[in-house]
Amino acid sequence: MLMKAKKPQKSSPVTTAVFPGSFDPLTNGHVDIIERASEIFKRVIVAVLFNPSKDALFSQGERVELITRQFARYKGRVSVVSFSGLLVDFVHSTDSRVIIRGLRAISDFDYEAQMALINRKLAPQIETFFLTAREEHSYISSTVVKQVALLGGDVSGMVPKVVLDALSKKRLERDRLRAKPLF
């Protein structure tokens, strides 16, 4: 549970960073960014977007739970919450003024730069920090992981074990539903 914090001033140094995303599902690329951010900031808040219009495989609760389980050993240093509405409003509700985003390739840059510029326009005191993805994660995206996993492909090098198990369960559920006679 986050307390409504006082808007951080531009000059005040911060110890908390917010890492927002859809995380449908969490990938090894996300895990790496969260781990690296937690070595720089005392606390990382993973903010899971609630977006009812997006066709998500995992519910918001499932996504929060999977990330929480993955980072259980980080205790208070990594916390996982869900948010809806504007990201900058969420960041204002914390004691942070730093947004972390990962960059995998040049092709990510246009979208990420646009988001960072819009967020700065909305809230000039909030800064976006980019961390470059490790080379071995540069081809991984939640979209690709979902597609491959649901078609029975091996995604074990792309997601943590908790997510791998959850993906297998989803696939089994889906196959069971498809196998059911209609009447």
**Within 10 Å of residue 154's Cβ, how many Cβ atoms?**
9
CA distance 90 to 16: 13
Please state the closest distance from residue 176 (CB atom) to ligand PNS, in A.
Answer: 29
What are 130's strand-pairing partners? 101
Dihedral over Cα of 114, 23, 85, 94: its sign: negative
Selected catalytic residue, list 4, 11, 53, 54: 54
Choice between 23 and 41, CB closer to ligand PNS: 23
CB-nearest residue to ligand PNS: 21
Catalytic status, residue 142: yes
Selected catalytic residue, list 101, 104, 137, 146: 104
Choice between 33 and 167, CB closer to ligand PNS: 33
Please state the closest distance from residue 152 (CB atom) to ligand PNS, in A.
Answer: 25
CA distance 43 to 78: 6
Selected catalytic residue, list 63, 79, 142, 146: 142
Please state the closest distance from residue 54 (CB atom) to ligand PNS, in A.
Answer: 8
In the complex, the residues that contact ligand PNS under the rule CB under 6 A are 20-22, 49, 86-87, 115, 118-119
Catalytic status, residue 42: no
**Within 10 Å of residue 44's Cβ, how many Cβ atoms?**
27
Choice between 49 and 57, CB closer to ligand PNS: 49
Please state the closest distance from residue 119 (CB atom) to ligand PNS, in A.
Answer: 6
CA distance 150 to 168: 8
Catalytic status, residue 104: yes
Catalytic status, residue 137: no
* Strands of the 127-132 sheet, one edge to the other: 78-83, 43-49, 16-21, 98-103, 127-132
Instruction: Using the structure block, give the residue that is written with the tokens 């993906």.
Output: 167
Q: Which residues are catalytic?
A: 30, 54, 104, 142
